[in-house]
Amino acid sequence: MNNVYEEKTVQELKAMAYDILAHQQRVANELQYINNLIAQKEAAPKVAPKSEAEITE
């Protein structure tokens, strides 16, 4: 795997590093969104399911 990088120029390596960091930031943002959504759903009041009698009325 390292041989692939040995062939690259400094500019190419910097571009690759930038792309990886940008991807890492997108993943971190998505994980934060998911964690916030989980927290919201866990904090939401639990609604008891309606009984069959209430549904048919």
Q: Which residue has the higher pLDDT, 33 or 51?
A: 33
Residue 30 covered by a domain: yes
Domain coverage including residue 30: 2-43
Over the stretch 24-50, which tens digit does the pLDDT of each residue have? 999 999 999 999 999 999 998 887 777
Residue 54 covered by a domain: no
CA-based radius of gyration for the chain: 24
Residue 50 covered by a domain: no
Residue 52 covered by a domain: no
The helix (run of H) or strand (run of E) holding residue 48 is none
Residue 22 covered by a domain: yes
Q: Which residue has the higher pLDDT, 46 or 13?
A: 13
13: pLDDT strictly greater than 90: yes
Task: Collapse the DSSP code of 37 into the 3-class scheme (helix H, G, I; strand E, B; otherwise coil) and give the result.
Answer: helix
Number of domains the chain contains: 1
Helices (H) and strands (E) in the chain, counts: 3, 0
